[in-house]
Amino acid sequence: MQYLCLIYQDESIVQNRSKAELDALYAEYRDFTERIKKSGRLVGLNRLQPIRTAATVRVRDGNVVATDGPFAETKEQLGGYYLIEARDLNEAIQTAAGCPSARFGSVEVRPIWEMQPAVDSALHQTTTR
């Protein structure tokens, strides 16, 4: 089963670190990523740009409204994700616990709701028209 591990952290924690501290953190992330790859559990991953580059979109009564930044005002922001394969939620949690940001932020682990091929095809058709 696939699980999405959403990494939340206060962006200022990373922004306020020295170059040496950032280099050490990035090395930890490289090691963490390599361990997941070697285990065969890694499906995908990406780091997100800072929240100042984000927009939140809503459609109300047919009107599109886009606002700067994330919708929720929180101390922690979504900074990236890992998409992993795991036997069950417990294995996914154990994998997420190895994420460096889990020590000073949080990692939300959520099972992927796999869509049926007919639904995937219908969604694709509506988005490409």
CB 29 within 8 A of CB 9: no
Given this model, what pLDDT does residue 122 score? 65
Given this model, what pLDDT does residue 73 score? 66
Number of neighbouring beta carbons within 10 Å of residue 64: 8
Q: Which long-range contacts (CB under 8 A, 24 or more apart) does 13-22 make?
A: 13/104, 13/105, 14/79
For 51-71, write each residue's pLDDT tens digit.
Answer: 888 888 889 999 999 988 776
For 15-52, write each residue's pLDDT tens digit.
Answer: 889 999 999 999 999 999 999 999 999 999 999 998 88
- What residue spans define the domains of the chain? 2-50+79-127
pLDDT reading at 75 higher than 90: no
Given this model, what pLDDT does residue 127 score? 58
pLDDT, mean over the chain: 89
> In the chain, where do the E strands start and end?
2-9, 42-47, 55-60, 63-68, 77-85, 106-111
**The residue type at 60:** R
Identify which of 53, 75, 57 has the alpha carbon closest to the alpha carbon of residue 65: 57
User: What mean pLDDT is predicted for residues 104-129?
Assistant: 76
State the fold for domain 2-50+79-127.
Answer: Alpha-Beta Plaits (3.30.70)
Q: Which two tokens stand for residue 7?
A: 């990494």
**Please, what is the end-to-end C-alpha distance for the chain in angstroms?**
31
Query: SS3 for 79?
Result: strand
